[in-house]
Amino acid sequence: MKVVLANPRGFCAGVVRAVEILELALERFGPPIYARHDIVHNPHVVADFVARGVVFVEELQDVPPGVRVVFSAHGVSPAVWHEAAARDLPVIDATCPLVVKVHQEVAAYARAGCTVFLIGHRDHPEVIGTLGHYDGNPACIHVIESIEDAEQVTAVNADEVAYATQTTLAADAVAPIVAVLARRFPRLRAPHAADICYATQNRQRAVRSLARTADVVLVVGAQQSSNSVRLCEVAQATGVPTYMADCAASVQREWFSAAETIGLTAGASVPEVLVTQVLDRLRGWWPDLMITSIGEPETVQFRLPRSLERDAGPARAAGRA
C-alpha cells in the first residue's frame, strides 16, 4: 500500500495563531481561561485545552464577571464585544485576520448603503458574527446558502448591492452563486480580494491534485469543520471515493479494500499529530507502507495580539507577518 500526503494540509496560519493565543493565555494567566465557542472546530484540540483548564462556553452570560475570555478564530459580532465590556470581561481576540477582513468589508458596505448578500452557512459561527457587523437596516443583509437563494433574494436598490463570503467555502460552490447574483444584479460589487481564504483555496487545490494520484482519498477532520467538509466535497467531485475521519480510531480498513494508493490530507483545524496517528494505523495494517507527498507546505504567519507577543519570545514575534 502507498500513501500520498497532500501539501499544504492541516493547521493554517489563522488556526496556528488562535491555538497559540490560547496557549499563551494559559501560560501567562493560568487556568481557568474562558473561551467563547470552540477555539477551532476540532474536538481533539478542544479536549486537550479542557484538560488543561480552559472552559468553553457559547454565551458570555456563562463567563463569571471580570474573568478573562478568549474569542475564537471564527469571530464575533460587535454586540458580543459590547456585552463583554458591559460585564467587565477582559478579552483576548483570536479572530482570524482573514475573517476580520470580511467584517470590515461588510461594515463598509453598510456605511455605503448597500444591500449585502453574505454567501455562507446560516448557522456557522463565522456567518453569525459577520452578520452583526452590518450596521444598517437588518433587512438589507441576506445569507445566501444556495443557487436557489440567489435566484429569489431581493434588494431595496438593485444598483447598490454587494456580496461577501464565508472564508471556508469551496470556490467551486461559490462561483455559480455569484454568477446568478451578477446576472440578476449587474452592478453587484465584489470584494477587492477574494473572501475565501488562501488556506482554504490552497488545501482544495491540493486535494484535487491528490485525487488524481489516488484510488481513495482520506480527509482527517471533524464534521463540524466547514473547511474539512468542503475538502471531502472537492475530492468527491473528482469521482474518487472519499472518506472523512476525525481521528485514527475512526478509519476503517474496508475503505481501502480495492485501493493501491491512499491520498491523505487534513482540514485547516487538524493538528499534524492526528495525521501521524492515522499513518500509524495504516502502517499497522500494511507494515511496508510507502509514504510520499505532493505539493509544498505553507509559510504564511499572522501576528499575535500585541499584549501576548512579548510572551512568545523575540524570534517568534519577529517571524510574524
Please provide residue 188's backbone torsions phi and psi, each rounded to the nearest 5 degrees: -60, 130
**Does pLDDT of 320 surpass 80?**
no
Which pLDDT value is given to residue 311? 55
Count of domains in the chain?
A: 3
Domain with 271, as residue range(s), is 2-11+198-294
- Residue 71 and residue 122 share a domain: no
247 located within any domain: yes
Decide if 160 is catalytic. no
Which pLDDT value is given to residue 105? 97
Each residue of 100-121: pLDDT tens digit? 999 999 999 999 999 999 999 9
Outline where the chain has alpha helix (H).
13-29, 43-51, 78-86, 97-111, 125-131, 147-152, 171-184, 198-213, 226-236, 272-285, 306-312, 314-318
- Residue 285 and residue 202 share a domain: yes
115 located within any domain: yes
Q: What does the H/E/C string look like for 207-265?
A: HHHHHHHCCEEEEECCCCCHHHHHHHHHHHCCCCCEEEECCHHHCCHHHHCCCCEEEEE
State the angle between helix axes of 171-184 and 226-236 in degrees (0 to 180), rounded to the nearest 10.
90
The mean pLDDT value for 7-13 works out to 96
The mean pLDDT value for 142-149 works out to 98
Q: What's the start-to-end Cα distance of the chain, in Å?
A: 40
Which pLDDT value is given to residue 316? 44
**Does pLDDT of 133 surpass 70?**
yes
Catalytic one of 58, 59, 83, 126: 126
Each residue of 224-241: pLDDT tens digit? 898 999 999 999 999 999
Each residue of 280-319: pLDDT tens digit? 999 999 999 999 999 999 998 999 988 786 655 543 433 3
- Residue 161 and residue 131 share a domain: yes
From 141-150, 193-202, 286-295, 308-317, the region with the lowest mean pLDDT: 308-317
Return the SS3 of 127: helix
- Residue 70 and residue 158 share a domain: no
State the angle between helix axes of 13-29 and 43-51 in degrees (0 to 180), rounded to the nearest 10.
10
DSSP code, position 7: S
Q: DSSP secondary structure string, 166-196?
A: -TTS-HHHHHHHHHHHHHH-TT-B--SS-SS
DSSP code, position 197: -
Q: Grid coordinates in use for 203?
A: 488545501
- Residue 285 and residue 206 share a domain: yes
- Residue 120 and residue 148 share a domain: yes
The mean pLDDT value for 87-97 works out to 95
- Residue 88 and residue 138 share a domain: no
Q: Grid coordinates in use for 81?
A: 464585544
251 located within any domain: yes
Classify strands 69-71 and 216-220 as parallel, antiparallel or unpaired: unpaired
Instruction: Give the mean pLDDT of the chain.
Output: 93
The mean pLDDT value for 243-251 works out to 97
Final residue in a domain of this structure, among 184, 208, 232 = 184
How many of the other CB atoms lie within 10 Å of CB of 190?
15
Q: Which of 284, 286, 250 is nearest to 270 (CA)?
A: 250
Which pLDDT value is given to residue 305? 86
How many of the other CB atoms lie within 10 Å of CB of 307?
14
Measured in whole angstroms, how far is the alpha carbon of residue 153 from the centre of its chain? 26
Final residue in a domain of this structure, among 125, 156, 184 = 184
Q: Grid coordinates in use for 92?
A: 483576548
Which pLDDT value is given to residue 312? 55
52 touches 74 (CB < 8 A): no
Each residue of 23-60: pLDDT tens digit? 999 999 999 999 999 999 999 999 999 999 999 999 99
- CATH number of the domain that residue 172 is part of: 3.40.1010.20
In this prediction the pTM is 0.88
